[in-house]
Structure 1
Amino acid sequence: MADATSDPIAQFQEERREFVDGYAGDAAWQKQSIDWVTRAFGQKYMYNFDWLGRPVIQFPADIVAYQEVVWAVKPDLIIETGIAHGGSLVLSASLLAMLDYADAVAEGTTLDPANPKRKVLGVDIDIRDHNRAQIESHPMSSRIEMFQGSSVTDEMAAKVAEYAKGCQTVLVSLDSMHTHEHVAKELGYYAPLVSPGSYCLVFDTIVEDMDDSVFPDRPWSQGDNPKTAVWEFLKENPDFEIDQDINQKLLISAVPDGWLRRKA
């Protein structure tokens, strides 16, 4: 193990850990963060960003943290529920492309863009034609597969599980319907596909921390949302845990308590 007193890289990492450890005890800053995120949701702030030309409806900080997770885990398959405009699929596909490039450099091999090593699978109950057309014509399309249908049926779960067969490392991202019941079903179907050491990401857990007035026309609310489903799931699945390093450092995030790591 590197000595932080003599290794500048280890010293930087240690200093960063100390900073993050202090965030959790700063109640005023935590409240400011929740207030900011609440305002951001009300103003549709997360709708303002694209990834490689496609709208990606996420906070920038969550995108950066997601990149860190993908680089650390190096999955050969990412499964996503919820497609919308396809920005998240393109984000995942581009991160997987960079992993393939890094492997090719290390191995001294040549990439074949038409036959990518790593892929992303998206599931959505309604893939709108104009979004499908944009995704299928995107330069990352060779890495993207899409299944249309409800993510919480036995048939879809079996189809996804079959697609994942033979994949060594699988990462799952759940970002479709945000009610407790729906997320609990998705966790039951797709968390078992997550490889040891990899992650199941549960988006919009922030709903539990915001006033119900933020979502007046939505079926989710405080007490009925992704975070409550995560809490229930963790009680019954001790092989998963919240990655507190990510959880504590973001502050501006839609995914508090939603960075679930499967223990190696």
Structure 2
Amino acid sequence: MSKPPTEAEQAFAREVEENVAGLGRDAVMKDLTGQWFRRSTDHRYSYNFRWMGRPIIQYPQDMVALQEIVWDTRPDIVVETGIAHGGSLVYSASLLRMLGGEHRRVIGIDIDIRPHNRAAMEAHPLAGMIDMIEASSIEQSTLADVKSRIPEGSRVMVLLDSNHTHDHVLEELRLYAPLVTPGCYCVVYDTIVEDLPAEFSASRPWGPGDNPKTAVHAYLKEDDRFEIDRAIEDKIQITVAPDGWLKRVR
């Protein structure tokens, strides 16, 4: 059982809270951050990082935010849609390993797991903590498979990062967000698509007006159990998930 925070620790926490609130009010900072983010996409910035040997295709700031959430909420199961090279699965597994307990697992879903990526993941030291399901994330049979792998009473976090069209993400939210334990998070990645110029998504079936952020706002009108945790994006500034850090509050 953790000890209650000391006065000094409480004072530091208040100082950090004030820092974050100040960032949230700083319009100049937000504009500069937006400019930096748009320029970073020209260099495929998110492709430049690995976690324990596997490409993760995430911004480091989002990775830092996620580890804070995992440590604070202590999930037993992380469900992820979208596997790609598997770096995000490895990242989640490494965080769960640090929490301890043989029961903690990551469940990854992708409609197409490339053989070389599967082989690399199965050879990884953390492979024993990871289940990979090759199927469409929005099929009822896939949801049933996922549920069958979650022991009763588990604390669950969900990360959505597959097909980024409005309809697909909205359906993923309807299926997987209800699995999230109160107090835990559903993180919807690439909501930033709504805030980027249309040419950023020119070769994709998603873009401004049809993307994860529009799906998030549509879902929040259907389900009042979740709220956007804006303090996270205020804190890290640089994120692919503005409005996408959803905390289950009831």
TM over 0.5: yes
What residue in structure 1 maps to residue 158 of structure 2? 172
Query: In 1, Cα distance between the equivalents of 2:220 and 2:22?
Result: 25
- Report 1:206-225 matches (<5 A): 206-225=192-211
TM-score with structure 1 setting the length: 0.90
Between the aligned residues of both structures, percent identity stands at 50
Query: In 2, Cα distance between the equivalents of 1:186 and 1:22?
Result: 34
What residue in structure 1 maps to residue 242 of structure 2? 256
Give 3-state SS (helix, strand or coil) of 1:252's partner.
Answer: coil
Q: Letter of the aligned partner of 1:181 in structure 2?
A: D
Give 3-state SS (helix, strand or coil) of 1:85's partner.
Answer: coil
Shift of 1:247: 2.4
For residues 39-65 of structure 1, give each alpha carbon's deviation from its aligned partner in whole angstroms, at most 9, with x where no partner exists: 212210010100000001100000000
Shift of 1:75: 0.9
Q: Letter of the aligned partner of 2:88 in structure 1?
A: S
Which among 106, 109, 117 is matched to residue 131 of structure 1?
117
- Report 1:138-177 matches (<5 A): 138-177=124-163
TM-align CA RMSD: 1.4
Shift of 1:10: 1.3
Query: In 2, Cα distance between the equivalents of 1:230 and 1:159?
Result: 24
Query: In 2, Cα distance between the equivalents of 1:127 and 1:68?
Result: 29
- Runs of 4+ residues over 3 Å off in structure 1: none
What residue in structure 1 maps to residue 31 of structure 2? 31
What residue in structure 2 maps to residue 203 of structure 1? 189
| Greater displacement, 26-35 / 74-83 | 26-35
| Matched residue count | 246
Shift of 1:25: 2.0
Whether the 8 Å contact between 1:77 and 1:167 is mirrored in structure 2 is no
Q: Letter of the aligned partner of 1:205 in structure 2?
A: T
What residue in structure 2 maps to residue 96 of structure 1? 96
Whether the 8 Å contact between 2:24 and 2:231 is mirrored in structure 1 is no
Whether the 8 Å contact between 1:76 and 1:167 is mirrored in structure 2 is no
Query: In 2, Cα distance between the equivalents of 1:144 and 1:194?
Result: 18
Shift of 1:167: 4.5
Which among 217, 233, 237 is matched to residue 223 of structure 2?
237
| Greater displacement, 35-44 / 77-86 | 35-44
For residues 121-178 of structure 1, give each alpha carbon's deviation from its aligned partner in whole angstroms, at most 9, with x where no partner exists: 0000000000000000000000000000110111111211222242420100000011
Q: Letter of the aligned partner of 1:164 in structure 2?
A: I
What residue in structure 1 maps to residue 43 of structure 2? 43
